[in-house]
């Protein structure tokens, strides 16, 4: 099931950002008095798919899912990590959202209950909760000069249920039986 994309990256906005050269890939020197953000993201389970990153300036942009991010990127994963550098940013308050688009559908896949099925993370590495990180949890101050940020992705949550036949916990997603254990069987079968 495809869910909404809490990272806020919409493909048309991303295309515009790439065409405008706004992905942060720049060989030019940063403007005097500007900020440079160097982001390192770890915790990818593998190198498949892409990392979707959104840099959002200000509370209003962060809290409005329909708003385009200030900067966005879709980057390949190398050695289970991604590094992204954005130059010539105005000093101010920002937040970063990132997710691992393992299946290449440009969305953070979620269960029917809204639980992410793909790895995700936020600036300041707030603990995973039943909701996306708030602005106050993810916000960081970008001062003139270089700022380095590291984000460790959170794994999708699994729901723990009890297998009534075997009477032991089985980790399953969306309250379905794990394929490794098969469906419950009637006693004596």
Query: Quick check: 52 pLDDT over 60?
Result: yes
147 and 179 part of one domain: no
Angle at 60 between CA 54 and CA 123, to 5 degrees: 40
147 and 168 part of one domain: no
Domain total for the chain? 2
Token match 């030019």: residue? 28
pLDDT at 12: 43
Q: Tell me, yes or no, whether 2 lies in a domain.
A: no
Q: Tell me, yes or no, whether 4 lies in a domain.
A: no
Task: Give the residue-averaged pLDDT of 69-94.
Answer: 96
Phi/psi for 61 (5° steps) reads -65, -40
Domain carrying residue 183: 158-189
Mean pLDDT across the chain: 79
**Spatial distance between the Cα atoms of 86 and 89, rounded to a whole number of angstroms:** 7
Greatest mean pLDDT among 16-20, 92-96, 127-131: 92-96
108 and 133 part of one domain: yes
89 and 143 part of one domain: yes
90 and 170 part of one domain: no
107 and 23 part of one domain: yes
Q: Is the pTM of this model over 0.85?
A: no
């Amino acid at each position: 099931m495809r869910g909404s994309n809490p990272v806020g990256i919409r493909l048309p906005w991303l295309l515009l950002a790439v065409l405008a050269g706004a992905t942060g890939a720049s060989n030019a020197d940063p403007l005097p008095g500007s900020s440079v953000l160097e982001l390192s993201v770890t915790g990818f389970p593998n190198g498949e798919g892409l990392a979707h990153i959104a840099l959002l300036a200000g509370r209003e942009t962060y809290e409005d899912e329909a708003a385009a991010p200030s900067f966005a990127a879709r980057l390949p994963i190398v050695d289970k990590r991604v590094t992204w550098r954005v130059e010539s940013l105005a000093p101010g308050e920002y937040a970063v959202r990132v997710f691992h688009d393992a299946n290449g559908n440009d969305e953070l896949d979620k269960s029917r209950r809204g639980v992410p099925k793909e790895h995700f993370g936020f600036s300041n590495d707030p603990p995973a909760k039943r909701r996306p990180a708030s602005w106050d949890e993810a916000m960081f101050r970008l001062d003139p000069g270089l700022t380095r940020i590291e984000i460790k992705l959170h794994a999708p949550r699994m729901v723990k249920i009890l297998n009534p036949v075997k009477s032991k916990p089985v980790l399953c997603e969306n309250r379905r039986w794990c394929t490794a254990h098969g469906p419950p069987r009637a006693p004596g079968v």
